[in-house]
């Protein structure tokens, strides 16, 4: 990997934007780990192996997170 592997706690500590921090904190910690690994460039297959699900299940989880975040942004945007 090109990136140093971050822990979920380190990732959360690095977020400066309050709205993003609140959105990330609102999801299950395992899903945060999936998101973090995706942002670090891990393949769907590698993420799936790490958390014990298939690559296609990882892809679906990321799609659901994207939808959830998009809805949260729309609701909170004045």
Asked if residue 36 belongs to a domain, the reply is yes
- Side-chain half-sphere CA neighbours of 49 within 13 A: 5
Whichever domain contains 36, its CATH number is 1.10.10
2 Cβ neighbours under 8 A, 6+ residues apart: 41
Q: Are 23 and 69 in contact, with CB atoms under 8 Å apart? A: yes
Asked if residue 64 belongs to a domain, the reply is yes
pTM for the predicted model, two decimal places = 0.69
Asked if residue 12 belongs to a domain, the reply is yes
DSSP 15: -
Asked if residue 1 belongs to a domain, the reply is no
Give the per-residue pLDDT at 55.
96
CA separation for the pair 17, 51 (Å, rounded): 27
Give the per-residue pLDDT at 28.
83
Range of the domain at 66: 8-70
Query: How many folded domains does the chain comprise?
Result: 1
pLDDT in tens, the chain (78 residues): 444 566 767 766 766 667 677 777 788 888 888 988 998 899 999 999 999 999 999 999 999 888 887 777 677 655
């Amino acid at each position: 990997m090109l990136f140093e592997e971050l822990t979920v706690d380190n990732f959360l500590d690095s977020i400066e934007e309050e709205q993003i921090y609140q959105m990330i904190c609102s999801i299950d910690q395992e899903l945060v780990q999936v998101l973090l690994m995706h942002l670090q460039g891990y393949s769907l297959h590698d993420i799936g192996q790490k958390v014990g699900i298939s690559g296609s299940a990882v892809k679906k989880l990321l799609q659901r997170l994207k939808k959830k975040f998009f809805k949260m942004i729309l609701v909170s945007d004045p």
